[in-house]
Structure 1
Amino acid sequence: MLRRSLMRSSPSSALVSSSVRAATRPVVMARPIARTQMVNSRGLFGFRSYSETANGEKKDAESAANEASSENTKEETQTSESEYANLSVEELQSKLKELQSKFEAKDKEVAKFKEHYTRSVADFRNLQETTKREIQKARDYALQKFAKDLLDSVDNFDRALAVVPEEKRSDKENHVELANLYEGVKMTQEVFEKTLARHGLVKLNPLGEKFDPNVHEATFEVPQPDKEPGTVFHVQQTGFALNDRVLRAPKVGVVKGTD
């Protein structure tokens, strides 16, 4: 009988003993996985999280500012509507006239500013053109001074060529050296004058042309029965023009009319 009771109580005893063993077993703490992952994620992506947070705060601030502005606009609109709602017709008409007068004043002010702006633009363009002309004048003056200094050198070519007698210029059989020298000086003169012409300095030789007092300088007059009066028949000194402006007037002899 006692044996049966012990056998019956054995399952409950086993359960009690297992509970006791479980209670006496050392407790093992679980690793804070979530916290470790959170720390790692902060360590790896801390800068991105800060940037996203800053952008979010900026957007929130902008949205808050827009909402505040819209609320202020609504409040002003409601205030103005409530203000005008309490006015009579005469007061509304007076208010309308006042606003119209203010609008006209602003319109006149805008027109005045527009006129000032137009004048300022015109003055600035005139200043640009004036400055451009002054710069060009300064360049022309500098080139003109340099060109005047070259005129004596150009005249020396004419003087050197005039020294050689005309009958010896082409007589290479008897005066070969003198003829070759004349040809060399002539070629040098032509090249030099072409170079000056490329820079606007042109030689004026008005032989046979009509006398022009604005361009030519008459040194003497001689009647010529076979020539038309007022015609240049002799060039005492050639002239030069720089960029279509007379730099030195040619000195000429003019046919005198028979009165």
Structure 2
Amino acid sequence: MLRQLASAPSKASRLAVRSPRTTASATAPLFQTATPFRSAAATATRSRQALSAARWYSSETDASKAEAAEAAKEGEAAGEPLSAADAATLRKDLETKAKEALEWKDKYLRSVADFRNLQERTKREVKSARDFAITGFAKDLVDSVDNLDRALAMVPEKKAAAADIVEEANQDFLNLVDGLKMTETVLVNTLKKHGLERFDPNGDKFDPNEHEATFMTPMPDKEHNTVFHTQQKGFRLNGRVLRAAKVGVVNNK
């Protein structure tokens, strides 16, 4: 009996040594008081990770769906032919835009042409105003030139030479004639320098733009419509006729 009681603890110890799992399971409740808190935190962490992953997957899925929809639309637009109504609408829009473009181009070209014409017209008007600003003064001045010409015409060159031979008393008269000639020459050259030029059409073809026929007479020895006599000389101001020459014209018809 005593031997059995003495051997009982040894057997219990051997059993405890041989089965540590049983011992650990028996003593486990003493050391598992904090496990519920750890499992709750782990569960919350896993749920947050799962939620973020689900959100990421959902956003990526939405983006991929939108891209797929756009690609499908582009594919449909590129691959499938337009309907007759859509083609007619597009054609009508293109024709309208082309017509508007042509209208704007025409307006632009007309504006450029008008501006260039305005520039040229302004240049001509400025040049004309500068060249013919003394028209009134020139018309008044030509009368003085005509008077000098008439004074010299009253003393022909033959009579002046005869007077020089006959008497020395006529020397003053000859000096007067020479002075008138010099005055006329200087005056005519000065007017020519400023654009006012005198012309004598004697022997030229009659030109109604520059000549004024005061009389006409037949002359068989001269060509028809030729100026044979200059009654009054004409004047040009910078190429424009200021006063037409008064002439006699041959009329053999």
Q: 1:256 to 1:113 in 2, by over 3 A?
A: closer
1:35 equivalent in structure 2? none
Give how far 1:105 is off.
8.2
Mapped partners of 1:149, 1:123: distance in 2: 39
Aligned pair 1:250/2:245, yes or no? Answer: yes
Say whether the 8 Å CA contact 1:168–1:179 is kept in structure 2.
no
Give how far 1:86 is off.
4.7
2:113 equivalent in structure 1? 122
Q: 1:228 to 1:120 in 2, by over 3 A?
A: closer
* Structure 1 residues 193-247: Cα deviation after superposition (integer angstroms, max 9, x where no partner): 1222233322121122232333222212334354334332221111112233222
Mapped partners of 1:218, 1:180: distance in 2: 36
Aligned pair 1:158/2:134, yes or no? Answer: no
- Number of equivalences: 179
Say whether the 8 Å CA contact 2:132–2:237 is kept in structure 1.
no
Mapped partners of 2:171, 2:146: distance in 1: 25
Q: 1:216 aligns with which of 211, 215, 225?
A: 211
Mapped partners of 1:218, 1:132: distance in 2: 35
Q: What TM-score results when the alignment is normalised by the length of structure 1?
A: 0.55
One-letter amino acid matched to 1:221 = M
1:182 equivalent in structure 2? 177
Mapped partners of 1:114, 1:132: distance in 2: 27
Mapped partners of 1:189, 1:130: distance in 2: 38
Mapped partners of 1:246, 1:196: distance in 2: 14
1:27 equivalent in structure 2? none
Q: 1:125 to 1:165 in 2, by over 3 A?
A: closer
One-letter amino acid matched to 2:119 = Q
Q: 1:84 to 1:118 in 2, by over 3 A?
A: farther
Correspondence list, 1:12-161, <5 A: 84-87=70-73, 89-92=75-78, 108=98, 113-161=104-152
Give how far 1:250 is off.
1.2
Say whether the 8 Å CA contact 1:216–1:252 is kept in structure 2.
yes
* Structure 1 residues 177-196: Cα deviation after superposition (integer angstroms, max 9, x where no partner): 22122112212211221222
One-letter amino acid matched to 1:218 = A
1:236 equivalent in structure 2? 231
Q: 1:113 to 1:83 in 2, by over 3 A?
A: farther
* Structure 2 residues without counterparts, runs of 5 or longer: 1-65
* Structure 1 residues 82-103: Cα deviation after superposition (integer angstroms, max 9, x where no partner): 77335252245689989xx599
SS of the equivalent of 1:175 reads helix
Q: 1:104 to 1:191 in 2, by over 3 A?
A: same
Q: Taking CA–CA contacts closer than 8 Å with sequence separation of 6 or more, which of the two structures ends up with the larger relative contact order?
A: 2
* Structure 1 residues without counterparts, runs of 5 or longer: 1-79
**Sequence identity of aligned pairs in percent?**
54
Aligned pair 1:192/2:184, yes or no? Answer: no
* Structure 1 residues 116-155: Cα deviation after superposition (integer angstroms, max 9, x where no partner): 4333222211111122223333334433222212111111
Give how far 1:159 is off.
1.9
Q: 1:224 to 1:105 in 2, by over 3 A?
A: closer
Q: 1:135 to 1:81 in 2, by over 3 A?
A: farther
One-letter amino acid matched to 2:144 = S
CA RMSD in angstroms, aligned pairs only: 3.7
Q: 1:81 to 1:183 in 2, by over 3 A?
A: farther
One-letter amino acid matched to 2:177 = Y
